[in-house]
Structure 1
């Protein structure tokens, strides 16, 4: 199906974008914003909001029309390739197939101090009406918290005999989330033989779920992920790994 952005009327192509330019707010700055919008394909475009942000920076909101079309039949996404289980089914699968508790170690690594994401998945209170992984009787959860150095995470995973390591990354300036994830995956591959390496799972709002191979992890979860999805994936992946062993 071919679609175009919707603003005031169906298919009118109207979009709204925001950005910051390193210039003080004046008429010339607004002209620069419109020039940038034109280069982005917005025609006509108008500045609907402009505000100086500190010294020498201006934040803009620009509204305009694009002529581009999108073919939804050519959109590729990472589909969920595992069954979504209820908590009781996760517990039953762990008992019957793994025959021991499934150990999960979670953390925010590097300088990332934003624990809201990892806590939503791990803590019993959970998110969006779903209990976190601590609620699952057959899972043992170790939450290391924020700003955990990668070597400390590797040591903790080894000491706890972790089946899976969950890492949340919210800070994305200068692609910090990508650099930290690559560092983590390299460290685990150096510290563990392939057969004993924990599942490496990362999550955050700015990750591309198709980058698992490039980042060296087993799974990437994006925004809106729930504890149930993570628990279901862990059970599925570990059972599949056990079958292949």
Structure 2
């Protein structure tokens, strides 16, 4: 069995650090409450590293301590990248050769989510982390609808633009808003378009579990750290490359 333990001061010492907020004012009793919670989380011994008042009646804590849990690496399940990472030139060439038209992409932040940083990083020309966004790819036609787009508006735009793919970014996660919005979107597309006519549905954001794509009714979930090049490569691999060619890639 391939197992590891957390590392803090020395190899395998099981030391971890975590932070949380309790809805109580900062005093000695609050600090004791934080240590009690840490103990119930399995930290033994637990040390209070930091405590500070954050507004009326709330305290933020950082605790450090040892846990006895082991990580069984053989049981870790993740979504591995199952497509080659292409350059912009390769993406453009494949779209031109295989689709013989521009690949249409519509992107938006849906619901009340007003954070466009994620969708702009993937779509806008300036991109992120030294990579240019999908607007840079000459064989991709990109429509960025911005923030607080309703699901009906997204469906209508995707239909009008004959979208091959719809990209949705969700940053706000309070009360699982990102999950509710994604399910609403996927249901709306299933209702509005037949299976063979629906665009590829892709969602991204820092709090998504990439393993939940099927449960949420989408084709792919991209998590934090995703780059425009990864998204472009996935689009081409899924929409422009034949099944036979995918086997050999």
Range of TM-score over shorter length: over 0.9
**TM-score, with structure 2 as normaliser:** 0.95
User: Aligned-pair distance for 1:239?
Assistant: 2.9
Partners in 1 of 2:17 and 2:74 — Cα distance? 24
Q: Name the counterpart of 1:128.
A: 129
Q: Name the counterpart of 2:91.
A: 90
Give CA-to-partner distance per residue, 1:202-242, whole Å, 9 cap, x none. Answer: 00000011101000000000011011110111111113689
Q: Name the counterpart of 1:235.
A: 236
Retained in 1: the 8 A contact 2:98–2:241? Answer: no
* Correspondence 1:219-230 to 2 at 5 A: 219-230=220-231
Partners in 2 of 1:59 and 1:4 — Cα distance? 27
Partners in 2 of 1:81 and 1:9 — Cα distance? 36
Give CA-to-partner distance per residue, 1:165-201, whole Å, 9 cap, x none. Answer: 0000011111110000000000111111110100000
Residues paired across the two proteins, number: 243
Partners in 2 of 1:47 and 1:151 — Cα distance? 49
Q: Name the counterpart of 1:19.
A: 20
**TM-score, with structure 1 as normaliser:** 0.96
Partners in 1 of 2:61 and 2:243 — Cα distance? 53
Unaligned 5+ runs, structure 2: 245-249
CA shift in 2, pair 1:208/1:180, >3 Å: same
Q: Name the counterpart of 1:200.
A: 201
CA shift in 2, pair 1:241/1:106, >3 Å: farther
Q: Which moved more, 1:74-83 or 1:152-161?
A: 74-83
Partners in 2 of 1:242 and 1:174 — Cα distance? 39
Q: Name the counterpart of 2:30.
A: 29
